[in-house]
Amino acid sequence: MLIRRGKRRGKAIANVRPEVRARLEEVGLERALMYKTLVLTGLRKGELASITVGDVELDAATPHLILKAGNEKNRQGAEIPLRADLAADLRSMLAMRLKALRQQARIQPGMPIPERLPPTMPLFRVPACLIRILNRDLVAAGIASLVKDERTGRMTVEKRDARGRSVDVHALRMTFGTHLSKAGLPLRTAQASMRHSKPELTANLYSDPKLLDVAGAIQSLPALPLDSEPAQSVSVVAEGGALTPDCQKTASPLALLLAPAGDHSGAREGKSDHEGPAGGQAEAEASKTVKARKTKKNGQRCVKNRQPAQQRVMGVEPTTFTLAT
């Protein structure tokens, strides 16, 4: 505990009643769990304040929080999945709250002992002045510091880093998005987790590139050796996909990485430089099936396809009609 007023302001004291200490420890545990929930779910402050005990599904196959459509920013509603450790922490906090509620019911005569927590009870008591509470917690954690304003002489919280960025409640949501990008998740999955309408918001505004493992990504690139090791024999594949065993080339390891010999099934059709007479004859036979003659008439290009002549059926007598009298 710290003294807030008087000459001993800022000094720690220990003469606190046990019941007061227990209540403050409960508040501190709830506040720490509230910060953890914001970081691991990406919920906004107002959305977290709208979550009630009835919206918590800890016994489902995948523990999650139910965010109603009226309480979400895009008014669509969502199910927020929970990590296993976060679900265990929430279950423990709710059990402690139920125990305290039962003890209070035993003290007051005539008050029934509840079997479970009311479903309308808020999951967290999110105060309106959460930003000021967060500032004090940042100072206590050593993330921010108290400095004296030379103009006003008052103590202010300095919480900007070397890049000029400030820490606030919404910064916890950006931390959530950065952790998703750092984990290597696909952009579409990260966008769905952030509940963004556009992937540009997730990739550009809610991901800190300074925290991404860019150096590790560079190390995953293949090695390109420049030494002149004895080259290995590589078969050359023609553009049409035919393998020419009589044409062998040698390539260095660098050339193998830049232009490996593989399947050229997607290459364009045409006459290759290695194509022999057999290939030319096959191409000529194929071209006989369809012939087109291009002519120019009145400044326009016309294409006339040679069509086979229609043959009349011979040897069939035409039908003769008679009139009945």
The verdict on residue 8 lying in a domain is no
pLDDT band at 280 (very low <50, low <70, confident <90, very high): low
Question: Would you state the pLDDT for residue 44?
Answer: 95
Give the integer Cα–Cα distance in Å for 255 and 124. 61
Which token pair is 220? 């995953």
- Same structural domain for residues 117 and 178? no
Give the integer Cα–Cα distance in Å for 178 and 57. 26
Give the integer Cα–Cα distance in Å for 229 and 236. 20
- Same structural domain for residues 26 and 120? yes
pLDDT band at 233 (very low <50, low <70, confident <90, very high): very low
Q: Tell me: the pLDDT tens digits for 119-131?
A: 999 999 999 899 9
Give the integer Cα–Cα distance in Å for 289 and 40. 67
Supply the CATH number for residue 69's domain. 1.10.443.10
- Same structural domain for residues 30 and 114? yes
> How many Cα atoms are found within 13 Å in the side-chain-facing hemisphere of 319?
2
Give the integer Cα–Cα distance in Å for 177 and 314. 81
Question: Of 157, 184, 215, which residue constitutes the final position of a domain?
Answer: 215
Beta bridge partners of 296: 301
pLDDT band at 229 (very low <50, low <70, confident <90, very high): low
The verdict on residue 116 lying in a domain is yes
- Same structural domain for residues 35 and 88? yes
- Same structural domain for residues 112 and 26? yes
Give the integer Cα–Cα distance in Å for 277 and 259. 28
- Same structural domain for residues 33 and 102? yes
Please state the φ and ψ torsions of residue 324, each to the nearest 5 degrees: -80, 135
Q: Are 31 and 133 in contact (CB under 8 A)?
A: yes
Q: Which residue has the higher pLDDT, 113 or 305?
A: 113
- Same structural domain for residues 120 and 204? no
Average pLDDT over residues 293-308: 48
- Same structural domain for residues 181 and 83? no
> How many Cα atoms are found within 13 Å in the side-chain-facing hemisphere of 168?
8
The verdict on residue 113 lying in a domain is yes
Q: Tell me: the pLDDT tens digits for 63-111?
A: 999 999 999 998 999 999 999 999 999 999 999 999 999 988 888 888 8
Question: Of 126, 155, 190, which residue constitutes the final position of a domain?
Answer: 126
Instruction: Output b/e per residue, 99-114; b: 16+ Cβ within 10 A.
Output: eeeeeeeeeeeeeeee
Mean of the per-residue pLDDT values for the chain?
77
Residue closest to 33 by CA, chosen among 80, 89, 77: 89
- Same structural domain for residues 46 and 116? yes
The residue behind tokens 């930003």 is 131
Question: Would you state the pLDDT for residue 163?
Answer: 82
pLDDT tops 80 at residue 309: no
Count of domains forming the chain: 2
The verdict on residue 230 lying in a domain is no
Question: Of 215, 250, 285, which residue constitutes the final position of a domain?
Answer: 215
Q: Which residue has the higher pLDDT, 312 or 218?
A: 218
The verdict on residue 245 lying in a domain is no
* pTM, to two decimals: 0.63
Which token pair is 99? 């125990």
Which token pair is 90? 């929430």
The verdict on residue 110 lying in a domain is yes
The verdict on residue 149 lying in a domain is no
Instruction: Measure the CA dihedral 57/46/174/36, to 10°.
Output: -50
Residues spanned by the domain of 58 = 18-126
- Same structural domain for residues 44 and 119? yes
pLDDT tops 60 at residue 181: yes
Average pLDDT over residues 232-253: 50
Locate the DSSP E strands across the chain.
56-57, 64-67, 78-81, 145-148, 155-158, 232-237, 243-251, 292-297, 300-305
Which token pair is 10? 């800022």
- Same structural domain for residues 113 and 179? no
- Same structural domain for residues 22 and 109? yes
The verdict on residue 2 lying in a domain is no
Q: Tell me: the pLDDT tens digits for 192-219?
A: 999 999 999 898 888 888 878 888 888 8
